[in-house]
Amino acid sequence: MAKLVPENHPALHTIAEEITPEEFSDGTVTKILKDLRTAIKTYQVDGYTAVAIAAPQIGVGKRVFLIEDQSPRKKSEESDRLPTIVAINPRFTKVSKKTHVVGEGCLSVPDYYGVVRRHTNVTLEALDEHGKKFTRGAGGLLAQIMQHEYDHLDGILFTDRADEVWHKDNSPTKTKREADAT
């Protein structure tokens, strides 16, 4: 069974490799997506469920991420659910000049939260699970999630970008930038 790797796992700190055409036909993509769906469903910390996961988070150094909202919803709230998106070999074709500071957490750094500056709007180009190219624009929370997951594919954790990070018990901690400066 696929599971989340610890924060110090090399896949979380390395640029992931692109999926090849052969990996679509030999079952690799299907297996990665199955493993991502298994891992995302097992996550629950402090009452929160996962909404997205990238292949490096399960120790697979491939450029794949999945957005699949796991939060329980009533039928009347279904329209609030994030769309399910499989992004293989994604790249941003546009990012807004406008940015905002947003709160983030991460499956791979479960005891920490922080604030990160993200673009308010993005346009993503990627392949779906069948190898078909698509383009998807996003704003707000969906844009933030896409940027967060894309960072995983480049070996970047939100704590590497955060302006401020704190432990879930509310104790402040140094950001990576602050630690590197000392």
Q: What domains are defined for the chain?
A: 10-181 (3.90.45.10)
pLDDT for residue 72: 74
**Burial (Cβ within 10 Å: 0-12, 13-18, ≥19) of residue 124:** buried
CA nearest 39: which of 50, 23, 27?
50
Amino acid letter, 172: P
- pTM: predicted TM-score of the whole model, two decimal places: 0.89
Given 68, 149, 164, 178, the catalytic residue: 149
- Does position 15 have pLDDT exceeding 80, yes or no? yes
- Does position 76 have pLDDT exceeding 50, yes or no? no
Q: Please say if 68 is a catalytic residue.
A: no
Does residue 27 or residue 174 have the better pLDDT? 27
